[in-house]
Structure 1
């Protein structure tokens, strides 16, 4: 029974871990109960089990039953990056417009209280918005 339990623990840890090795600790508490864990126990009487693993992530099929290939994943990631960049570009342009059009700009503090930006804060945010536009906005945005 204990060997089956150890095999299950070690097997499940090998699927979770990204490392080449997994260390499992085994110890018995004062009540005689056997425990297993990945963290070294506080007691001095424990045994250490090192298991070599090879991690290979398994891609779950999509709803349509297909499994995406590496090129699909890269295209999806690229699309997400472009989408995030476009959103940041729009936000930076809106911030710049607001900061340029209004002398008094109200913001919320960390506490959620509204306050007006000082002139130096307004200038800092203007420069930041300009830099964000340079970074996130392309010719097509």
Structure 2
């Protein structure tokens, strides 16, 4: 019983102080240089209103952060026979030329595997990729 009384008193004191957390807080300095914090600004004296924070951030619109997945009726109609645009061909051409240059330059070339480790390309892999890059250069450029 002895522990419940102080515990209840502390709880009631904490609950009584909650409404004051939502009020505005003003800071001002008196003639003696003492800084005061009050819920109301003093008369005939300059006071700064403080911005208090409750630990919560500004409201967030989660709809913009996590857009809903498109349902089939929302999807845009796609053209079945649409080929790559000129910008896509230019991009593919540039990447293929850069890959071809790196493959013909020689040296070790590594790629990242699904588990995040590195795998070095064999000479056969490099030859295959150089051939594919050359085909893309001929088609896209």
Q: TM-score range, shorter-chain basis?
A: 0.3 to 0.5
Structure with bigger gyration radius:
2
| TM-score between both structures, scaled by the size of structure 1 | 0.40
Give TM-score, length-normalised by structure 2.
Answer: 0.40
